[in-house]
Structure 1
């Protein structure tokens, strides 16, 4: 960052950023840097051809399809080859050996980004980039390449070639990054530790867990998922501000929603937007009648579920939300409109809660044991002393983690900022806190990471 800030020209800054991004990516798997370079080259060449064939629509569309199918084919091979060959072997006994393909880090994110680039050029929503290195920079930006958000090319095209770093935004970026780091290192990791203790993946241990243990463990997983995923987006947005990029918000306090429809407008917004703009609308959206709309929604939510991981439970998870979205649109829409807000919120939390159960367990036998265990159907007890002690020992942390999932802190911060600006002494004190707080958060996060080897990386499956 220091080298970036003291580099005088934008061209030099882009070179610094690109080198840093390639080193960062190679650190997690140097072999697959070649794949990132190749896929960026495919999109770069394909987009240039698409733009050059402006007056030849058929050939233009053919190039778009070829480019997109190559990208999806590579994603499919690296991410799903093992799953499909294992499934075939299970049902028909062929092939003899299941393919074991290592998953390149971040491939789900940068594949979708490169597809948006080619499609945006095809739609004349963006100009094809003449420099391969700038396309590679777009795909490889180290602070969002491996964990999102999915950034559309048209949203950052101008900033790649012409941006300015503002001191005020650097400060905001540092603050936003420190909050994200704290959410991940302190809150999400602590939630994960409790969740893994109470809702273990080992079926032999899980079947002896009390019902209360599984309920509490799943609650902690519910908090972990949001705090972890949104933390990476916070860090990416913050680091973007530090170098002059402005990424759109990716999470907007989804747990305050009052319907599944609203939840998906607030959760992983960049992914929902991608499937809406590049799958749902091109399929016809809601323009061809209710039946066709349901089919389009089915395709989108099957793809959304499958995108999250190479296991069949993710497909089930996506279709689980498809069912409730269809119900909300055509069956219970009127009932929801008349339902008091508090009951709509409870309805949302219950649906999401059980949805995370589907998301957590990739093995269906383990999933069923967990579900039955929640209602003491595994010959397990309802409450044990160990779970009670874990709950009591962590009660204040759990309350704090729940508050961190709500907009309470951001609302209080904005209110204090307005109130304290009215008095000079208070304003000075507020600005001092504004400087000290990010430093404190980074120090606490660093000490937590150094002192604790438990640092789960949920994005390994992407």
Structure 2
């Protein structure tokens, strides 16, 4: 079950929220926990045991760490936590990659084990690790109730698609939170924005990227350079809209029940450097690796060689976290190269304006690398960008695809900027100065969630109801 499905909207979310708001406050955590476990079990009941088990390990290790005063004993329980959770993550996520790599070198094993990846294991593993590490650092107190820690690790808002929520962010709200009308409204509005991003924009632009940047090698070989460029830009837009949409919906649903999750995306395509891009993109993941890997290794307060070693470690792990393929590691190391160039060579030498062009160009090529798990197909895509494939440089078919979707592409580009925030602020200022402005602003505040939800539902019902189909050439 995904957030952008009619089953989730009209059955699961409606029923769970209705029950949550109707029951007495003392029972709301129970309702939220049961709802979260049902949501998780929907995608694979047997893997619910894994979530329960990892939470139990983290709960016990955190209590053991807090109960011990001597540092060696505390460190032992931290090691047990890290080995247990990272070992389980490695087994389920990376066994096929490790086996295939060994097989390509030695010829054995003859059969690569196929292991189904449990839903959300990367997210809840990192959340539980951050919780136990924070207890070890004495930044938070261990949660005495297993069920409350399970609520934290299984919250259906963010359990399967992020953001990575630190325990200290929501520790107080697990027991002490209140929900006002403004919270519910703000949550619904944020959720509706995320749903529209996914159902209308991301799903729509995905069709363009699939048509022009196909993962099928033969189809990609026949695509002209113009089509590969348009497809790459479409996929770049799709990635942001897809990922940020789920964060928007998670933040919105959390707000509806009194949880305040931190922002996960801050208009990354408006960045002026690659470093700035990674301050804005998947913030919860970047901050996790910064706080729990990079800084413990010494951060940047070390010599140049150690600093480079720290960066290599972080970006190798960042790439590997995204998927069990060496292409993701290549993607991470690609970003590493530009971060090191900016640190030691480029610095602040690129003029304003051109720095945005540079950053978007780097991110665009990274997006192409991210698209393909197979290296041979990736090479075809890279050749296609410079017109060295059979498709040449241009085709009227690719041009027609661009024209047919020009309004959709324009809407996606606008959605990747802070233009809507700027317009919202102007309307708020106008509302304070004018009666007409107040009436317009009040109407807009009430109408936007309803309009976005309505259009999103129509888009989910079928492409025939996608509003952008009425603006095609």
C-alpha deviation, 1:432, in angstroms: 2.4
Secondary structure of the corresponding residue to residue 349 of structure 1: helix
Return the alpha-carbon distance in structure 2 between the equivalents of residues 186 and 32 of structure 1.
Answer: 31
The aligned counterpart of 1:8 is 24
Return the alpha-carbon distance in structure 1 between the equivalents of residues 230 and 350 of structure 2.
Answer: 28
C-alpha deviation, 1:422, in angstroms: 2.0
Whether 1:284 and 2:298 are equivalent positions in the alignment is yes
Partners of 1:173 and 1:239 within 8 A in 2: yes
The aligned counterpart of 2:453 is 442
The aligned counterpart of 1:182 is 196
The aligned counterpart of 2:425 is 414
The aligned counterpart of 1:167 is 181
C-alpha deviation, 1:288, in angstroms: 2.2
Partners of 1:189 and 1:454 within 8 A in 2: no
> Over residues 19-48 of structure 1, what are the superposed CA-to-partner deviations in whole Å (9 max), with x where a residue is unaligned?
110111111111111100100111000100
- Match for 1:405 among 380, 400, 416? 416
- Match for 1:34 among 43, 49, 53? 49
Return the alpha-carbon distance in structure 1 between the equivalents of residues 446 and 290 of structure 2.
Answer: 40
Matches within 5 A, 1:19-418: 19-53=34-68, 55-333=69-347, 337-418=348-429
C-alpha deviation, 1:426, in angstroms: 2.9
> Over residues 40-68 of structure 1, what are the superposed CA-to-partner deviations in whole Å (9 max), with x where a residue is unaligned?
11100010001001x11101101001111
Return the alpha-carbon distance in structure 2 between the equivalents of residues 177 and 268 of structure 1.
Answer: 18
Partners of 1:121 and 1:127 within 8 A in 2: yes
Partners of 2:223 and 2:390 within 8 A in 1: no
Return the alpha-carbon distance in structure 2 between the equivalents of residues 233 and 358 of structure 1.
Answer: 23
Secondary structure of the corresponding residue to residue 294 of structure 2: helix
Partners of 2:33 and 2:155 within 8 A in 1: yes
Partners of 2:183 and 2:256 within 8 A in 1: yes
C-alpha deviation, 1:423, in angstroms: 2.2
TM (norm. structure 1) is 0.96
Partners of 2:121 and 2:160 within 8 A in 1: yes
C-alpha deviation, 1:110, in angstroms: 0.4
Partners of 1:195 and 1:217 within 8 A in 2: yes
C-alpha deviation, 1:427, in angstroms: 1.4
Partners of 2:427 and 2:437 within 8 A in 1: no
C-alpha deviation, 1:380, in angstroms: 2.1
> Over residues 163-199 of structure 1, what are the superposed CA-to-partner deviations in whole Å (9 max), with x where a residue is unaligned?
1112111111110000000000100011111100111
Partners of 2:458 and 2:465 within 8 A in 1: no
Return the alpha-carbon distance in structure 1 between the equivalents of residues 316 and 373 of structure 2.
Answer: 16
TM (norm. structure 2) is 0.93
> Over residues 378-429 of structure 1, what are the superposed CA-to-partner deviations in whole Å (9 max), with x where a residue is unaligned?
2322111111111111111111110110000111111111212222343133
Aligned length: 450
Q: Which 5+ residue runs of structure 1 have no aligned equivalent?
A: 456-462
Return the alpha-carbon distance in structure 1 between the equivalents of residues 257 and 155 of structure 2.
Answer: 11
Q: Which 5+ residue runs of structure 2 have no aligned equivalent?
A: 1-16, 467-473
Please say which of residues 58-67 and 337-346 is displaced more in the overlay.
337-346
The aligned counterpart of 2:3 is none
Secondary structure of the corresponding residue to residue 125 of structure 1: coil
Return the alpha-carbon distance in structure 1 between the equivalents of residues 233 and 247 of structure 2.
Answer: 22
Partners of 1:169 and 1:241 within 8 A in 2: yes
Secondary structure of the corresponding residue to residue 341 of structure 1: coil
C-alpha deviation, 1:446, in angstroms: 1.0
Return the alpha-carbon distance in structure 2 between the equivalents of residues 353 and 175 of structure 1.
Answer: 30
Secondary structure of the corresponding residue to residue 393 of structure 2: coil
Return the alpha-carbon distance in structure 1 between the equivalents of residues 301 and 353 of structure 2.
Answer: 34
Return the alpha-carbon distance in structure 2 between the equivalents of residues 122 and 4 of structure 1.
Answer: 34
> Over residues 118-156 of structure 1, what are the superposed CA-to-partner deviations in whole Å (9 max), with x where a residue is unaligned?
001101110100110111110111011000000111111
